[in-house]
Amino acid sequence: GNSVTQMEGPVTLSEEAFLTINCTYTATGYPSLFWYVQYPGEGLQLLLKATKADDKGSNKGFEATYRKETTSFHLEKGSVQVSDSAVYFCALARDDKIIFGKGTRLHILP
Amino acid sequence: GAGVSQSPSNKVTEKGKDVELRCDPISGHTALYWYRQRLGQGLEFLIYFQGNSAPDKSGLPSDRFSAERTGESVSTLTIQRTQQEDSAVYLCASSPVAGQGYNEQFFGPGTRLTVL
């Protein structure tokens, strides 16, 4: 079946550190892939997306590349800020449903 | 424009009582989803409505859970005889179209349900 596996948190980094949150997926066909973010006290919102292999989604300094050969969609940011502290969810869309990973909580220390 | 709204924002109830949670999707969105998010957990799919098609109820955890949607507007999630394990944040999302694999969802702020 379709599933998403992402690294467990919490992840704690210092400000300006490099961030990677790993995400791999299992799916039939060619799903679209997403990263959603949930800031403290706020609702879930789309961070970035990629709809086909080798696409790179980017937003707010975050990037993720759709790697079909490794079935991965790792989230990266070159220099994190305190304001990036949130829970990040990797997700795939298939047959009109979105399947979410369990989320990774990110803490950025000043 | 207006986003997805949910009410109430918080609900505290006693074990065994019934609760109703409401979701107002973005106008014109044909698809509507309900999810449950337990403390420290990911999103658990509950139910999906798409236009006039029969809803996909495959995620409902028990027959105490049910949901309705009137056309392409408001949806109500009902939990009967609530149990403590039902305590969670219930999220609603809507989507403009149902396509081939790409379906961006817009989320409401959620209803935090606490069952005492």
Q: Give chain A positions within 8 Å (CB) of B104.
A: 34, 46, 49
Question: Quick one: what percent of chain B has pLDDT higher than 90?
Answer: 65
Partner residues linked to B19 by β-bridges: B79
Name the E strands within A43-103: 44-50, 56-59, 62-65, 75-77, 86-94, 97-100
The confidence score (pLDDT) of residue B99 equals 54
The confidence score (pLDDT) of residue A99 equals 87
Name the E strands within B28-74: 31-37, 43-50, 65-69
DSSP 8-state assignment for residue B38: -
The confidence score (pLDDT) of residue A19 equals 97
B101 part of contact set with chain A, CB < 8 Å: yes
Inter-residue contact A91 to A75 (CB < 8 Å) = no
Alpha-carbon distances of A86 from A33, A42, B114, rounded to whole Å: 19, 10, 23
Q: Give chain A positions within 8 Å (CB) of B108.
A: 43
Give B1's pLDDT tier (boundaries 50, 70, 90): low
The confidence score (pLDDT) of residue B100 equals 52
User: Mean pLDDT across the stretch B78-103?
Assistant: 85
pLDDT tens for each residue of B5-17: 999 999 999 999 9
Of residues B43, B101, B104, nearest to A30 (C-beta): B101
Residues with Cβ < 8 Å from B31, sequence gap 6 or more? A96, B48, B49, B50, B51, B94, B95, B96, B97, B98, B103, B105
Q: Which residue has the higher pLDDT, A17 or B29?
A: A17
